[in-house]
Amino acid sequence: MNDWPALDRFLRTDPRDVGCDQAMEMLHVYAEVVAAGGPAEQRYPGIAAHLRACGPCGEDFEGLLAAVRGGAD
């Protein structure tokens, strides 16, 4: 058997994954925890799992995190 890491990563699913709706609903809270250096992954494992797997939500998170770190106020 060969290793196909990219394909394996893509096909692997995490049962903790909360899906897009719940991740998007809590994205502002999650982003603030991350920006503050808090334990976001431990506190919100289902959102962390989702953001790792979902490109669009991951992209939204990166954008919001950049806004928070850039002083969104």
Residues 14-73 that bind another protein (CB under 8 A): 15-22, 24-29, 31-32, 43-44, 46-47, 53-57, 59-60, 62-64, 66-68, 70, 72-73
Residue whose CB is less far from another protein, 37 or 73: 73
Do the beta carbons of residue 64 and residue 27 sit within 8 Å?
yes
Taking the C-alpha atoms of residue 30 and residue 34, their distance in angstroms, rounded to an integer, is 6
Chain mean position to CA 31: 9
Under DSSP, is residue 66 helix (H, G, I), strand (E, B) or coil?
Answer: helix
Residues near another protein (CB under 8 A): 1-8, 10-13, 15-22, 24-29, 31-32, 43-44, 46-47, 53-57, 59-60, 62-64, 66-68, 70, 72-73
